Amino acid sequence: MSQIQISQELMDAIDMCLKDPEIIDRSFFPEFSQAWNAIFERARQSKASYFDIASDSCYTVHCDFMELSFDFHFDQLKMAEWYDKELKNRKKVVFSGKKLKHSWKTKELMYDNVICHYEPSAEEPALGEHNRNIIVCAMPGLPPTLQVVYGNKFVKTRFNPLRTATLGCFLIGTDYVPAFLASPMEVAVYLFMMDLCIIKENYRKVKDKDLKRLLHALRVSPMLRIKGLA
């Protein structure tokens, strides 16, 4: 399948998402759809590539949400680099410390009531013993989930059955997740999916005028500016 066919297939899926009744019925929908159509057009025209997805530092996460089926490619070495900079500056902006609970029965990781997925068999060849952090990020879903995107292979070694089954990790702020993705289109699709989640999860509880302020496209998330998509 050619890149043109892939792009058209993706654009058709995006268009279907924008026709969802819970999305289209929002008072801010015209502004929302116009903003995202412009963002995706810029992403399609961009020739930028942020890192080589064939490299050892690439960790791939497949995501299915609404009409969209998409692979996100995370740059693990860039995560380690940014974490080291924050550690030296002693100011947490991108990463925040969290505690995950581990169920010995189900083998699941949980943060509050949110499942955190991980791949215990992931090779992660770029990760050495000098930085054994576990880094997670939010992924689209209803309800949203968490995903280990750095340090899957370290998860098992960090539990002690004789102690409380908790695991320290670092959560990437949603606005900063796009910093570690491979292309402008991945940046756009991730934030688009998250906006859809925000609307569908909250529109019954939050008035449209307040919900609008939470959306990446309408408050213009920093990464949309930095990546030249806004």
What is the pTM for the complete model shown? 0.93
Per-residue pLDDT band at 6 (split at 50, 70, 90): low
Would you say residue 91 has pLDDT above 90?
no
Residue boundaries of the structural domains of the chain: 1-48+184-230, 55-182
The residue count for the chain: 230
Burial class (CB in 10 A: 0-12, 13-18, 19+), 162: exposed
Per-residue pLDDT band at 137 (split at 50, 70, 90): very high
Query: What pLDDT does residue 74 have?
Result: 98
Would you say residue 82 has pLDDT above 90?
yes
The residue-averaged pLDDT of 13-27 equals 96
The residue-averaged pLDDT of 209-227 equals 94
The residue-averaged pLDDT of 128-146 equals 90
pLDDT digits (tens, 9 = 90+) for 146-165: 999 999 999 877 766 556 57
**% of the chain at pLDDT higher than 90:** 72
Would you say residue 1 has pLDDT above 90?
no
Query: What pLDDT does residue 2 have?
Result: 42
Token representation of residue 151: 């340090």
Per-residue pLDDT band at 96 (split at 50, 70, 90): very high
Cα of 227 vs its chain's centroid, Å: 16
Per-residue pLDDT band at 143 (split at 50, 70, 90): confident
Q: What is the mean pLDDT of the chain?
A: 90
Would you say residue 4 has pLDDT above 60?
no
Would you say residue 19 has pLDDT above 90?
yes
CA–CA dist 108, 118 (Å, integer): 9
Are the C-beta atoms of residues 114 and 144 closer than 8 Å to each other?
Answer: yes
Query: What pLDDT does residue 59 have?
Result: 97
Q: Which residue has the higher pLDDT, 7 or 212?
A: 212
The residue-averaged pLDDT of 7-29 equals 94
**% of the chain at pLDDT higher than 70:** 93
pLDDT digits (tens, 9 = 90+) for 165-196: 788 899 999 999 999 999 999 999 999 999 99
